[in-house]
Structure 1
Amino acid sequence: MTRNDPHSLAQLLMGIDEVECVTPDLNGVPRGKVMTTAGFLEGRRLQLARGVLLQCIMGGYPPARFYGSDDGDLAL
């Protein structure tokens, strides 16, 4: 199996319904997204707003001077 062969990747993922990408936020709380295996094989990207990873346990955000005011998406 070669790394870039889509057919061997499809065989590897056979029987798997979803692909999940999880990363911890600033507090260690797992955040993530799920996509179908078909979407993964098609090369779709999962995106997550950067602010989600900076949100504190009580729902607030740290001052923007620590991370900037841009809340762009992260590609997972």
Structure 2
Amino acid sequence: MSDSTYVVNCFRDRWHTGWLERGWLTSAKKPVANRDLWEPLVTLVIERGDVAFQWVKGHSGHEMNDFVDGLAVAACFPQP
């Protein structure tokens, strides 16, 4: 699950396949933004092979979405 339609659409619509075929270029022949973040995620999804993405509304009380949002926020602050 993700509250990012961009992430969900990337895998649902297989944008990542085109990115790989074009050497990490978009269909407009421009470099994929945030490749440093996308590349490890795409690699893991391909290696695992059984990942499905589903969109959920962010900050809407979805238990797991709120949990991972909390993890992301906590990661922004130095830990003692």
Higher relative contact order (Cα pairs below 8 Å, separated by 6+ residues): 2
Q: Identify, as 1 or 2, the structure richer in helix.
A: 2
Q: Identify, as 1 or 2, the structure richer in strand.
A: 1
